């Protein structure tokens, strides 16, 4: 009996931890989860749902974490239904990943976000193991002395139920809070290649190759794809051409060293050519404004960027903008200021910063800081007298304080959970 109980408990804990981890890495990067959901919707002909992909990403990550927490702490209010629900959920995703492995409509499932990349077949085998764990937990939940029953000596009206429900509410708020915060600001943990501290110049040159950039656009009138070099401005006509992809071809064989393909493909260009090497070689810090679409630049964000442009001009700091949208104009107007506007690959931009509009601080090719537009420091007040490096250092301190408060909150919740477990067995 003890061996069987131990096996069920081990399977339950392993399954719960996988769900919690899977939900957490999705929650800290809801943008990436939303992008992956958009790929799913397109692959299965459900494009109508794409408009709600951000909401779905928050709900999916929260549901995964909450299911994992409920299974881990054996909450009594779901003890009868949760094993069967987990079996259904894991079974559904096992079938889904089998479809992905056989027909490959999506390159990878995104089960663990950008934290752990798995092929579709690896994901299917992983889900087979989870399915086995779910079956063991489901069978174990129906024996006479259920391993997670509420203490039978505690009456139904006892305050222990209040503890249990309140702990469940805390886990729900935590799950939703992580996703909502990361969506409105930037990922709490950056699993992407363009994290702060990465040197783009060094990482991009590890392969020892020269990349030729080719832009692929679809002719809206004929539906055919055409390839353009950076110097060919034909694709600027957005009424005729629709962006499809960017292809990078190496001119020479790699000479050694490994790097993330996204880093190697980092390129800032316009009709006159590629400006990447020149920009990354600058010894002074410079500001990179990121825009998914300049036409969607909001009033509040425009004001913050205008203050940043005034700040940069007063200090002689270079400030440019990049967007994947075909350039109707080579400058971006920010109040009375105008900054140069360049192109960047859309996929690279999404990996660089998870925001519609943002600001990146770079020096000697190294990313010093990234801000969602709503988090850009106020450069029109007391911060106007500070250097960029001082602002970056202050931002790092704020991040550290936020992490400290977050860790303290998690510790308090865990202590509460320990009390809950103790209360169940008194």
Consecutive H or E run containing 34: helix 30-43
Mean pLDDT comparison of 185-194, 231-240, 405-414, highest-scoring range: 185-194
Higher-pLDDT residue of 48 and 155 is: 48
The pLDDT tens digits for 89-105 are: 999 999 999 999 998 88
Topology adopted by domain 200-385: Glutaredoxin (3.40.30)
Higher-pLDDT residue of 2 and 279 is: 279
Q: What is the predicted pLDDT for the residue at 302?
A: 92
Q: What is the predicted pLDDT for the residue at 147?
A: 45
pLDDT at 382 over 90: no
Give the predicted TM-score (pTM) of the model: 0.80
Of 145-149, 178-182, 245-249, 298-302, which range is least confident?
145-149
Listed residue (342, 341, 326, 349) closest to 243, CA to CA: 326
Q: How far is the C-alpha of 89 from the C-alpha of 77, rounded, in Å? A: 19
Q: Are 338 and 329 in contact, with CB atoms under 8 Å apart?
A: no
Please write down the long-range contacts of 54-57, taking CB distance under 8 Å and 24 or more positions apart. 54/30, 54/183, 57/26, 57/30, 57/31, 57/33, 57/179, 57/183
Delimiting residues of CATH 3.40.30.10 domain(s) in the chain: 200-385
- Can you spell out the DSSP letters for 223-246? --EEEE-TT-GGGG-TTTEEEEEE
Percent of the chain with pLDDT over 90: 38
Percent of the chain with pLDDT over 70: 81
Q: What is the predicted pLDDT for the residue at 261?
A: 67
Q: How far is the C-alpha of 153 from the C-alpha of 60, rounded, in Å? A: 36
Beta carbons within 10 angstroms of residue 186's beta carbon: 21
The pLDDT tens digits for 240-279 are: 777 676 665 655 444 444 556 667 778 998 878 889 989 9
Confidence of residue 409 (pLDDT cuts 50, 70, 90): confident
């Amino acid at each position: 009996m003890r061996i069987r109980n131990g096996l069920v408990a081990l399977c339950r804990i392993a399954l719960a931890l996988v769900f919690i981890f899977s939900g957490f890495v999705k929650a800290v990067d809801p943008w990436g989860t939303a992008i992956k959901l958009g790929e799913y919707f397109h692959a299965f002909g459900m494009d109508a749902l794409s408009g709600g992909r951000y909401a779905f990403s928050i709900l999916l990550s929260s549901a995964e974490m909450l299911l994992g927490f409920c299974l881990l702490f054996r909450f009594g209010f779901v003890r009868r239904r949760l094993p069967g629900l987990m079996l259904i959920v894991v079974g559904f995703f096992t079938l889904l990943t089998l479809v992905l492995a056989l027909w490959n409509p999506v390159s990878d499932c995104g089960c663990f976000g950008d934290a752990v990349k798995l092929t579709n077949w690896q994901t299917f085998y992983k889900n087979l193991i989870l399915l086995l764990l779910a079956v063991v937990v489901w069978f174990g939940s129906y024996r006479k002395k259920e391993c997670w029953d509420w203490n039978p000596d505690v009456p139904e009206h006892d305050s222990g139920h209040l503890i249990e429900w309140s702990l469940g509410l805390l886990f729900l708020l935590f799950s939703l809070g992580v996703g909502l915060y990361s969506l409105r600001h930037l990922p709490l943990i950056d699993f992407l290649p363009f994290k702060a501290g990465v040197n783009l110049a060094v990482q991009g040159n590890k392969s020892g190759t020269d990349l030729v950039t080719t832009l692929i656009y679809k002719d809206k009138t004929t539906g055919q794809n055409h390839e353009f070099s950076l110097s060919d401005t034909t694709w600027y006509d957005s009424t005729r051409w629709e962006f499809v992809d960017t292809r990078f071809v190496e001119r020479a064989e790699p000479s050694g060293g490994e790097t993330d393909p996204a880093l190697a493909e980092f390129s800032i260009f316009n009709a006159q050519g590629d400006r990447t090497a020149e920009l990354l070689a600058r010894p002074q810090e410079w500001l990179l404004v990121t825009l998914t679409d300049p036409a969607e630049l909001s009033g509040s964000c425009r004001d913050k960027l205008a203050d940043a442009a005034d700040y940069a001009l007063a200090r002689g700091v270079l400030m440019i903008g990049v967007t994947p949208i075909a350039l109707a104009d080579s400058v971006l107007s920010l109040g009375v200021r105008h900054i140069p506007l360049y192109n960047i690959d859309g996929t690279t931009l999404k990996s660089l910063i998870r925001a519609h509009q943002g600001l990146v601080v770079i020096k000697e090719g190294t990313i010093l800081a990234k801000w969602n537009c709503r988090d850009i420091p106020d450069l029109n007040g007391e911060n106007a007298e500070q250097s960029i490096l001082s602002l970056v250092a202050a931002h790092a301190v704020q991040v550290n304080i936020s992490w400290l408060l977050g860790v303290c909150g998690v510790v308090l919740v865990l202590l509460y959970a320990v009390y809950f477990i103790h209360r169940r067995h008194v």
